[in-house]
Amino acid sequence: MDLGLIAEQFQHLDWTALLLAMAVGGAIGLERELHGRPAGVRTHMMVCLSATIAIQASQSVPTALGESVVGNLVFDPNRLAAGIVTGIGFLGAATVIRSGDIVRGITTGSCVWAVAVLGIVIGQERYAMAIVGAIAMLVVLIGFDWIFRWVTPVVYRRLVIVGSGTDLMEISASLREVLNGSGVRIQDIAGRIDPVAQSCEIDAYIRCRNLLQAPELLAQVGALEGVSSAEWTPIKS
């Protein structure tokens, strides 16, 4: 081990790039950590820092080996950057969780991919672009989060109603009146009658704005004449 060579390499390290990669990755990771996401400060810092180190290493290896050796080798930082962007997609995919019709982690997965891109930019010594890019990402994550709190997305739900008796048409008409009055659209509806048990069942697939209206609508539907039970559930994909 050549201690002199190691000391010389320490002198030529780009500390600015390493510290900036840690700061950029940490800032975006902190925002995700505060939202309770699986990929937090350390994950984003590691992704950004490792991408920066990889790009810097690919640029410094040809110089360190000398022209006689490099003639037979190919060190293309662009190819390495493409490999980093592709490979980090697997890590981002691991943060996506689906439960019913609710998907969580897509934004976090995109953040992991984005900090890898920032790490590549920092490794190429384009510090201004990295700083501006990080600020823009934080504006999207923080600023747009406040805006979209006022947006009510469209959701699809399944409403199952069990009635006592076999008068399916009367219960169905009353159900339509309640749902139409609440701005809920029925996409499809099916029914079943059991003459032996003297009961019927309505299975309605509905489309509505997510206004957390399930308790109120269930109370109205449950109070309809002939309805013995009502269930409001997400549509399983």
Give the sign of the dihedral formed by CA 61, CA 67, CA 71, CA 77: positive
pLDDT for residue 118: 95
28 sits in which H/E element: helix 15-34
Domains along the sequence of the chain with CATH: 3-148 (no CATH), 154-234 (3.30.70.260)
pLDDT for residue 5: 62
Q: What is the mean pLDDT of the chain?
A: 84
Residue found by looking up tokens 């002199």 in the block: 4
What whole-number percentage of the chain has pLDDT above 90? 34
41 sits in which H/E element: helix 41-65
pLDDT in tens, 134-185: 999 999 999 888 888 888 888 889 999 998 887 888 888 889 999 988 889 9
pLDDT in tens, 31-82: 999 988 878 899 999 999 999 998 888 877 655 545 544 444 455 667 778 7
CB–CB of 134/28 below 8 Å?
yes
Exposure b/e, 129-160, CB count within 10 A at least 16 = b: ebbebbeebeeebeeeeeeeeeeeeeeebbbe
